[in-house]
């Protein structure tokens, strides 16, 4: 039997959250470069949005697996909130609603940083093993 530190679901969640964080941190960089006058970087911001969104939905699937296999609901709830915010932000960006896109982007990055810290600090173990 796998020990809590080697449970595949827990490590997969950590890997996906880590990749998600790396991808989302690039978004303000691309936006900032665009705002300095490099208009080609808007393309990279759009590509980055596609990557961030794809990883977010992948993370949602992994969080569902963690919920089902390890009976840990908190990763799913946090991921669902982040993915919902990213989805709203994605469409606000497409629509040019910067009044919503920019502050929601800041909040989404902050929420993902908190989630990253949580999945690396808290052991992702089966519910009854944690309660025993």
**Is 89 contained in some domain?**
yes
**Is 116 contained in some domain?**
yes
**Is 131 contained in some domain?**
no
**CA 48/CA 52 separation, integer angstroms:** 6
**Is 21 contained in some domain?**
yes
pLDDT for residue 7 = 64
The more confidently predicted of residues 122 and 28 is 28
| pLDDT tens sequence across 18-73 | 999 999 999 999 999 999 999 999 999 999 999 999 999 999 999 999 999 999 99
**Is 91 contained in some domain?**
yes
How far is residue 95 from each of residues 9, 81, 89, measured CA to CA in Å? 37, 21, 10
Cα–chain center distance at 27:
13
Number of structural domains the chain divides into: 1
How far is residue 37 from each of residues 28, 51, 85, measured CA to CA in Å? 14, 23, 28
**CA 13/CA 30 separation, integer angstroms:** 26
**Is 65 contained in some domain?**
yes
**Is 53 contained in some domain?**
yes
**Is 1 contained in some domain?**
no
Structural domain boundaries enclosing 65: 8-126
């Amino acid at each position: 039997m796998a020990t809590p530190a080697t449970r595949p679901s827990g490590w997969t969640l950590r890997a996906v959250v880590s990749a998600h964080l790396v991808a989302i941190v690039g978004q303000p960089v691309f936006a900032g470069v665009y705002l300095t006058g490099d208009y080609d970087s808007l393309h990279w911001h759009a590509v980055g949005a596609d990557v961030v969104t794809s990883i977010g939905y992948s993370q949602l699937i992994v969080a569902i697996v963690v919920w089902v296999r390890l009976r840990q609901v908190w990763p799913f709830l946090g991921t669902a909130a982040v993915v919902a915010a990213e989805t709203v932000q994605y469409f606000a960006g497409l629509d040019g609603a910067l009044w919503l896109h920019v502050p929601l982007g800041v909040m989404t990055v902050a929420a993902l940083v908190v989630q990253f810290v949580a999945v690396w600090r808290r052991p992702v173990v089966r519910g009854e093993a944690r309660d025993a």
